A and B are shown apart, each in its own frame.
Chain A
Amino acid sequence: MSILKTENLTYTYSQGTPFEKTAVKNVNLEIEEGELVGVMGHTGSGKSTLIQHFNGLLKPTSGRILLEGKDIWENKTEIRNVRFKVGLVFQYPEYQLFEETVFKDIAFGPKNMGLDKDEIERRVRETAENLGLPQECLERSPFELSGGQKRRVAIAGVMAMEPKILILDEPTAGLDPHGRDVILGQIKQYHKKTGNTVLIVSHSMEDIAKYADKILVMNKSELFCYDTTVNVFSRSKEIEAMGLDVPQITRVFNALEQRGLNFGKQVYTVEYAKELIMKKLRERGKVTRC
């Protein structure tokens, strides 16, 4: 059974006014448990509106959202529990830090879930460790930390709730290449360790290509596709036409294909590109191993 399913999900902003705008149109989607999904779409494509439905921040104008097979809006009083099960990390989440200490800030979510003290303690220390935040920084003010550390504290606050589905809206925006790799590596690690479903919204196709198993693409308020990474990048020309980027390496291989040099495979990571080239060179007896 899929963990998250949408049925004809439609959302219209300011309905009945001159500013009426349908931001999500008739989306049917099924996300399996344990998947790591990259979410792409240019600004205004409806991807943020879509993910805000997943934890009940927005209520569909029509259609349904099923979490573990149950309509999340069936019983309105249950929506609180939906938000514990689906954790959403906003863009620039470090602006939302507010507590006196890092510990208290990470503990805020778990505390609201009504967990007991020991469990909160365990979760805070464990998540902090997973995100590479040293134990001694737990007693410091979050505002004394560096930008990258602040962001990790903010992410830890949601991870500590141990949501079945973790959604991160551009977790690497504004970070340098190293900081980006560290955070994405930690998210991947979290995904592997817990087996929970993770959705990452990103503009960086190179990152999505490297980390995600599946990709969801939104275009003009509609679901363009939800498929494996290979299949999605095999449609790289359509994706580029939407104003999205495909990895640079994919563009190089598309150019080679046009020149009649066909590798027969969709290339979207540098490692894989290297392997394909080496393989083809060997086939042609070009490279001899010594």
Chain B
Amino acid sequence: MEDIIVSENLRFHYTNEYDEKAAVTEVLKGINISIKKGSFTAVLGHNGSGKSTLAKHFNGILMPSSGKVFVCGIDTSDENRLFELRQHAGMVFQNPDNQIVASIIEEDVAFALENLGVAPKEMRQRVDDALKAVGMYEYRYHSPSQLSGGQKQRVAIAGIIAMRPECIILDEPTAMLDPQGRKEVLKTIRRLNREAGITIVLITHYMDEAAQSDRVVVLDKGQVVFDDVPSEVFSNVEELKRIGLDVPQTTELVYLLRKEGIDLDSHIISEDECADAIEALFRTSNNNDDDKAVQAAS
């Protein structure tokens, strides 16, 4: 599969606008990653690890201090192609209230299309499709103030998909939502990925969300420390906790049991896998000749 986002030795530091001689803080220290078209990648990292800074490089909000970022083959430091770039890679931010610009939902979704000069008939079609895709079509004539946080985030996503992008980057889209809103948004993201083949880059603090992705990239101090499928990444329980992250409760339980000497696969992440493994533990224990020889070393 072809790569849609490529970063080559990406480095970034913020400069002090008032004092050019002031010490610079380097936020990204040489990031090399490539993201496949149609994939669903989660980016984890504690506050200040550089994950939002990285995300902002993917649609040209920030430019690398050195190194390169290519999105859909476009060099993000090429200012002449910035508009084009942002049509291919849309971004959804954390706070739902900061992203809605219009007073009627369907007008908000049409905002980008108006800027792009899409013909009215085509626009009508795209807005309707986008609202249907996020399950907000019935709310098209509502005012944003009547919506919940999760609904507002879905409208923000609709505004992006109306542009028919190849890739959506979401920077902690569920951080300010309640569990219901989180579920709605995540379901929408996953469906867009699976059914419409849109590439997803999801920045998140929630381990259960990351567990649903194809690939987890973990950042710490501006560097990639893990980059693998979720089950591999989460099996590094101690290392993740050391850098201020967490693992799903299922993985943690398996980790604790393994420490007691119980023979379990360290790659368990879903609830079903966890229940299966525990069930198997007792099934074999009923049946002594099939004993898996569990010895607690204490």
How many B residues have CB within 8 A of the partner chain? 46
* Contacting residues, chain B, for A176 (C-beta < 8 A): 45-47, 205, 244-245
Contact A270 B278 (CB under 8 A): no
Given A174-B176, A176-B245, A203-B179, A261-B278 contact (CB < 8 Å): yes
Q: Report if A93 contacts B (CB, 8 A).
A: no
Contact A274 B260 (CB under 8 A): yes
Ordered by A's residue number, 28 sampled pairs between the chains whose C-beta atoms are within 8 Å are A43-B149, A146-B47, A174-B94, A175-B205, A176-B245, A206-B249, A248-B250, A248-B271, A251-B271, A252-B249, A252-B250, A252-B253, A252-B275, A255-B272, A261-B278, A261-B279, A274-B256, A277-B253, A277-B262, A278-B257, A278-B260, A281-B262, A284-B285, A284-B286, A286-B281, A286-B285, A287-B260, A290-B295
* Contacting residues, chain B, for A270 (C-beta < 8 A): 249, 252-253, 256
* Contacting residues, chain B, for A290 (C-beta < 8 A): 295-298
CA distance A255 to B271 in the complex (A): 9
Q: Report if A116 contacts B (CB, 8 A).
A: no
Q: Report if A193 contacts B (CB, 8 A).
A: no
Contact B244 A178 (CB under 8 A): yes
Contact B296 A287 (CB under 8 A): yes
* Contacting residues, chain A, for B179 (C-beta < 8 A): 42, 203, 243-245
Q: Measured between C-beta atoms, what is the minimum distance from A141 to chain B in Å?
A: 15
The one of B149, B248, B278 that contacts A248, using a Cβ cutoff of 8 Å: B248
B binding-site residues for A, Cβ under 8 Å: 45-48, 94, 148-149, 172, 175-176, 178-181, 205, 207-208, 244-246, 248-250, 252-253, 256-257, 260-262, 271-272, 274-275, 278-279, 281-282, 285-286, 291, 294-298
Residues 132-168 of A contacting B (Cβ, < 8 Å): 146-148
Query: What 1/0 flags go to A265-290 for Cβ under 8 Å of B?
Result: 00000110110011011001111111
Contact A259 B279 (CB under 8 A): yes
Given A252-B275, A288-B296, A274-B257 contact (CB < 8 Å): yes
Q: Measured between C-beta atoms, what is the minimum distance from B225 to chain A in Å?
A: 15
Query: What 1/0 flags go to A200-214 for Cβ under 8 Å of B?
Result: 000100100000000
Contact A281 B285 (CB under 8 A): yes
Which residue, A147, A248, A249, has most C-beta atoms of chain B within 10 A? A248
Query: What 1/0 flags go to A29-64 for Cβ under 8 Å of B?
Result: 000000000000011100000000000000000000
CA distance A148 to B253 in the complex (A): 29
Output the nearest chain B residue to A243 by Cβ-Cβ distance: B180
* Extra inter-chain contacts (10) besides given A42-B179, A176-B245, A271-B256, CB under 8 Å: A43-B149, A43-B180, A177-B246, A252-B253, A252-B278, A259-B275, A274-B256, A277-B281, A278-B260, A281-B281
* Contacting residues, chain A, for B275 (C-beta < 8 A): 252, 255-256, 259
Contact B295 A256 (CB under 8 A): no
Q: Report if A247 contacts B (CB, 8 A).
A: yes
Output the nearest chain B residue to A267 by Cβ-Cβ distance: B253
CA distance A173 to B205 in the complex (A): 11
